[in-house]
Amino acid sequence: MKKSLFPFFVITLLCATAAYAQRGPEWLKNAVIYHIYPSSFQDSDGDGIGDLEGIRSRLDYVKACGFNTIWLSPVFESPFEDGGYDITDYYKVDPRFGTNTQLVELIRDAHAKGIRICLDLVAGHTSDKHPWFRQSRSADTNLQYSDYYIWSDSKSSLPTKKFVKSDAPRNGNFLKNYFEVQPALNYGYAHPDPDEPWQQGYDDPGPRAVRQEIRNIMAFWMDKGVDGFRCDMAMSLVKNDDRNHTATVRLWHEMREWIDARYPECILISEWSQPGEAIPAGFHVDLIIHNGAGYDMYSPLVCNTDDKNRPTVCYFDRAGEGQIRSFVDRYTKERHATREQGYLSMPTCSHDIWRLNRNQRNTPEELKVTMTFFLLMPWIPTVYYGEEIGMRNIEDAPIKEGSFARRNRSSCRTPMQWDTTPNAGFSTADATNIFLPVDPDPARPTVAAQTDDPHSLLSYARGLLALRAATPALGTSGDWRYVSDPNHPYPMVYAREYAGEKYIVVLNPSAQRATAQFPEEGAVADIVYGSGVPARYTVRKDLASVKAEPVSATVLRMK
């Protein structure tokens, strides 16, 4: 009897271990990410540009808000032709941000405060000024870095519109990944075309060397204490991949196996925006991008303008004309498919995506409703610096360092607003000499003004994060169920449950009162959090009805 049960126990144990390893380190379950654009956060040396020492001096602020993980946009050596996403040395901090030693000190201090640090891994391309690329331009194609990039074998034709006409001694043109100054690293072609012998396969020496280099870069920083990486354009590494990105999935799968074996406490976050692919590929977290650029099922929530700068209707606008159905359907499906393996995260915005305070969403009350949504979903919250105080999107901020890409990305990169000292406390440099101008509005929000104001957005966001941290049902462990009718968009009502505890979240971002009816969810124990006049929940004959006041958020604990 004992003997026959043995294999069963072993299999159960193996399955349990596999499931745990898939979801990643334990700390990730409670991670709340703060995304910092390093040039814009805090300048410590008066040169007008944010730096690592500046970030280090603000760790207590980050912690007091309730964030426990920082994702830094790239801090590596760069000519800044795409805001640092164009790297010339992955092993070196750019002098404008400080030194490698200062990065290690930042990590050390952050860890001492219980904060993890994730870096940005730009794996898809380098700067065209990178020594690897300079060498690969040589007519001699047998050098160490000759095959680090994708070169055609003739100058007279451009195989696709992504190829850039080159003036290099090498006979051929190169593939760009984003801007022309960002040549694509060579991860090979999923199915090399025999008629184009310059296309290399996944297992050819060039792509193998590039994969090894990326591992070396990650190991270099993880050995210095880094806790993970946000992987830029993660889905696009292997070229001419199939619809399911099979070869790129294989690549990340191999990276993840290596990380699990050597750095099991570290994580990989993807810029992929298709959790159904990214999570099984090996990412611990997939970022949902909602800038309207091909991810339209999600974008109607907070975007105000589509990719071509045309106004769009959004759910979280006071006009109350948005729809919620496509979000509910897609989110439900993707969460269901990935919840045992990893996490989703929908950032409030980013260095590429407009801030929440824009167009039809400006008042602290409107921003509080939106923030309730971002912070009480089961995903891992990611908040871009300054969103917690409601910084404005500055539409006419000057284009800087490649910030224009179909739209003006400087608008969401202006300096953090700390206080009423010059440059809002961001820098002691002359105002004409800082990275980007500070929001000129004399009434601009600041950390100083909001810290002790119990009605401020900052206090509200801090309270939300404290509530989430204390309430497993509202965190990543809790179930999520959309409760109201998704065809009747306002208010949005969803349930969060864990171990017999149940919460109902009612959000009405519109300027009109809104009601919803649904099968009853029990009785209200108390109102635990919210903004505006609380929604009223009543039950009659098994039917619950919720009356939500204009621009209100209500979190109910149920009996």
Compare residues 351 and 368 and give the one whose CB is closer to ligand NOJ: 351
Q: Which is nearer to ligand NOJ, 299 or 476 (CB)?
A: 299
Shortest gap between Cβ of 459 and ligand NOJ (angstroms)?
30
Using the minimum distance from each CB to ligand NOJ, give the nearer residue, 94 or 352.
Answer: 352
In whole angstroms, the minimum distance from the beta carbon of 272 to ligand NOJ comes to 11
Half-sphere exposure of 178 (CA within 13 A, CB side): 25
- Least distance to ligand NOJ from the beta carbon of 93, Å? 18
Task: Give the shortest CB-436-to-ligand NOJ separation in angstroms.
Answer: 15
Do residues 302 and 315 touch, judged by C-beta distance below 8 A?
Answer: yes
Q: Which of 533, 556, 537, 553 is nearest to 545 (CA)?
A: 537
What is the binding site for ligand NOJ (CB under 6 A)?
A: 82-83, 85, 122, 178, 232-233, 271, 351-352, 405
List the one residue out of 363, 361, 354 whose CA is nearest residue 303: 354
Cβ partners under 8 Å of residue 347, min gap 6: 33, 35, 287, 288, 353, 382, 383, 384
Nearest residue to the partner ligand NOJ, using Cβ: 85
Cα 155 from Cα 171, distance rounded (Å): 6
Q: Which C-beta is closer to ligand NOJ: that of 80 or that of 537?
A: 80
The one-letter amino acid at 287: L
What is the smallest separation between the CB atom of 407 and ligand NOJ, expressed in angstroms? 12
Select 405 or 523, whichever has its Cβ closest to ligand NOJ.
405
Of residues 403 and 417, the one with the C-beta less far from ligand NOJ: 403
**Comparison of 341 and 403: residue with beta carbon closer to ligand NOJ:** 403
Minimum distance from residue 71 beta carbon to ligand NOJ (Å): 11
Cα distance between residue 7 and residue 12, in whole Å: 9
Angle, alpha carbons 496-502-504 (nearest 5°): 60
CA 315 to chain CA centroid, Å, is 20
Question: Nearest distance from residue 124's CB to ligand NOJ, in Å?
Answer: 7
Specify the 3-state DSSP secondary structure of 456.
coil
Residues 6+ apart with CB under 8 A from 479: 378, 473, 495, 496, 497, 498
